[in-house]
Amino acid sequence: MVLFFKKELAFLLPVAGTLWLALEQGWRQGTALALGAALGFVMFQASFSFAGAFRRLLAERRGAGVRAQLLMIAAASVPILPATASGEVLGQAVRGLVFAPGLAVVVGAFLFGVGMQLGGGCASGCLFGAGGGSARLWLTLVFFVLGATLASWQSEWWTGWWAPAPVALGVVLGPGLGLGVTLATLALAFAAVWWLERARHGAAMALPRGLLWAALALAGLNAATLLVVGRPWAITAAFPLWGAKAVAALGLDEPAFWPWWEDPTRIEALLRPVWADRTTAMDLGMLAGAFVAAVLAGRLARSWRLPAGEAAASVLGGLLLGVGAMLGSGCNISAYVSGIASGSMHGWLWIGPALLGNWLGLRLRPGFGIRDS
């Protein structure tokens, strides 16, 4: 009876949040939270971890997790790339996550990759892990927000780094050819990961059914996000906003005068209530959805004890994640997943240095007493 009550209580969190936001800010905002909850639920249920998948590929040459990622990006690209290239869906204006593929992306992706392995997760991993009660990932998330806030405060230093104009394959090549090139490149990457595993182990593991269905579900939810929010799935754009709100509330500074917030869209978000931001709504939804999944699976973490080494790794990793996401024009979701699905060249540029950063992070983990799992 107690377990039943807990399960019912868990469901109330995203449902109540969705209804409240819909009444307060309109149906799109409420639906954004519901989509976030669905994303968090699926990721926790399937243990769809980017950091873990990269770790297994780099350390063990096991590639099922990365192959699931590539499949998810391919499935998301089919509706997202043509839609963002045309600029509208069903009469509604939409845009892709297309940014300049410059030096800041390379540096940011590398720092983000190191942070993934030290902090124990990426942007999505921090949210669904924290929603599942992980003390380590809550600590990483706090310093993730702090790192993003520090990077936005010092944006004048890095926003002027060399960068060519943004390139969207769907615009440059046309929607059909741009999608074809994207799918062909993803297929080659899929084959390369499969070959690496086969070369090391003699055979490549079949993609687990749970990962397969999770990849397709995440792709579908990303496409739904495009329809509701007007752009694909993103996570970290909310983090400097949360930090700036905290800085202003504590009277430490006035972020509205930081160059980062001079952009009209950004300053509008800063001046509105934080719950009016759709990325915030989706991020909070991910926390709630993962909480529901953890309760239903009986996997809600109940211990908040954290070894000193892991705590230090979370602090450093979180800061690197936050700074890296800002410099890199996104994280594993908004740059790697949604960037590539939008046809953006910055998404393809992001993954190389991010993998190199993950490789370095793996070698730093033992120094913090972190055992690979």
- The β-bridge relationship of strands 92-93 and 88-89 is antiparallel
373 part of a folded domain: no
Is the predicted pLDDT of residue 251 greater than 90, yes or no? yes
148 part of a folded domain: yes
The per-residue pLDDT for 5 is 47
Q: How far is CA 10 from CA 21, 217, 287, 331, in A?
A: 18, 22, 11, 29
102 part of a folded domain: yes
Burial of 355 by CB count in 10 Å (0-12 exposed, 13-18 middle, 19+ buried)? middle
d(CA 41, CA 46): 9
User: Tokens in use for 226?
Assistant: 């495009």
Average pLDDT over residues 200-219: 96
Q: How far is CA 151 from CA 99, 157, 163, 287, 312, in A?
A: 17, 9, 18, 24, 20
Tally the domains of the chain.
1
Per the CB < 8 A criterion, the answer to whether 84 and 96 are in contact is yes
Q: Please report, to the nearest 10 degrees, the dihedral formed by the alpha carbons of residues 32, 140, 240, 152 taken in order.
A: -150
Taking residue 88's Cβ as centre, other Cβ atoms within 10 Å add up to: 12
43 part of a folded domain: yes
168 part of a folded domain: yes
Helix axes 50-60, 64-86, angle to 10 degrees: 130
**Boundaries of domain holding 181:** 2-368
- pLDDT per position as a tens digit, 125-162: 999 999 999 999 999 999 999 999 999 999 999 999 99
- pLDDT per position as a tens digit, 323-363: 999 999 999 999 999 999 999 999 999 999 999 999 999 99
User: Tokens in use for 296?
Assistant: 């239903």
Max intra-chain CA distance, the chain: 61
The CB-side HSE value for 116 (13 A sphere, CA atoms) comes to 32
321 part of a folded domain: yes
User: Tokens in use for 63?
Assistant: 């590639």
